[in-house]
Amino acid sequence: MIAIRLGLYLSLMLLVGLAAFPLYALRHDERPEGQVLSLRWALTFWSVTAITLSGLGLAALIAAMMGGPLTDIDWETSQSILFETPIGTAWLVRMAALAVVLMAAFPRRWTDEQQLGTIALAGAVALSSLVWTGHAGASEGGLGLIHKLSDMLHMLAAAIWLGGIAAFLLLLRSPLDQHSGRKLVVGHRALEDFSRVGTICVGIIAVTGLINGQVLIGFSNILRVFDTTYGQALFLKLVLVAGMLLLAARNRWRLTPDLALGLNDGDASSAVAALRKSLMLEAGAAIAILALVAWFGMLEPPASTMGP
């Protein structure tokens, strides 16, 4: 279940983040497929992956509820979970949204903005449905609604950040040749522009993280929580987030200006290599964070065991 949850988080966040990237980072004439970025097959791959993992996740959940192996799953129990529980409703919404993504991923009489916007929006719906498979899904009442909305915003902001990292890696990928020259120029401009989007994402992640922390841990338990497995994993997550912020700051204030100098001098290879390495480290930290988040969902939240 942890592996499936990690795969779902990663595939859905990349789906949303990659589809959204051209809408805020590229100009109108740069958005057509293959002009600067080729995203169609990546978006198709991640949507198919999400569909497959969603099916496996539902089967594993039903098997766990029945207390038996996957081979013992029966239709009556599956139908009851699928159509009579919030988790089942969320799963159906996710599959419908991913079907929309697949339909929108291939050429039709839509503008690139319409195509990418549809994929990003449907992907955001699919990603938000994961809230019902985590701790927020068990929250009830007004506080539960706040928790769910906060969790959705938290994941969507993280998706934009992660998708931006993936898009920049595509723009800066080797080999460097004549065809890649325009990509580097666009990549440099987008890196400078992404600082505003990234700052907004970090702000949303911080605020929603505090809200989720209050619900799941409670500020009165903050000193005791690090004695628990949940708290120690949370500490590691915060360290990784801090590392991502340091790498992002280095990208913005040092490596992006170095890329500008390299483009002006006609030799950007070393600047591109340094940026690519930094972005890969940032992506690695993000994947590690998602693995921890997938694990968190299987642990009992401290607020339910430690009390006020």
Q: CB-hemisphere CA count at 13 Å for 48?
A: 7
Residue 283 has what pLDDT?
A: 97
pLDDT at 286 over 80: yes
Residue 306 has a pLDDT of 52
Domain count along the chain:
2
pLDDT at 182: 77
- Look up the domain containing 146 and give its range: 141-307
Whether 232 and 277 map to the same domain: the answer is yes
The answer, yes or no, to whether residue 176 has pLDDT greater than 60, is no
Residues 165 and 109 in one domain: no
pLDDT band at 178 (very low <50, low <70, confident <90, very high): very low
Scanning 105-180, the segments in alpha helix (DSSP H) are: 112-128, 135-138, 141-171
Output the average pLDDT for the chain. Answer: 87
Judged against a pLDDT cut of 80, whether residue 139 lies above it is answered with no
Per-residue pLDDT averaged across 123-136, rounded? 88
Structure tokens at 182: 């325009």
**Contact predicate 258/197, CB 8 Å:** no
Check whether residue 125 and residue 150 sit in a common domain.
no
Domain boundary among 71, 101, 133: 133
The pLDDT tens digits of the residues spanning 84-119 come to 888 899 999 999 999 999 999 887 778 889 999 999
One domain, residues 146 and 205? yes
Last residue of a domain, one of 133, 168, 189: 133
Query: Following CA atoms 107, 99, 137, 49 in sequence, which dihedral angle do they give, to the nearest 10 degrees?
Result: -80
- 128 and 146, same domain (yes or no): no
Q: What is the pLDDT of residues 45-57, one digit of tens each?
A: 999 999 999 999 9
pLDDT of 290 higher than 60: yes
The pLDDT of residue 225: 77
Co-location of 163 and 297 in the same domain: yes
CB 106 within 8 A of CB 60: no
Please tell me the distance from the alpha carbon of residue 181 to that of residue 295, in angstroms, as a whole number.
42
Q: Is 65 exposed, middle or buried (0-12, 13-18, 19+ CB in 10 A)?
A: middle
For residue 179, the model assigns a pLDDT of 45
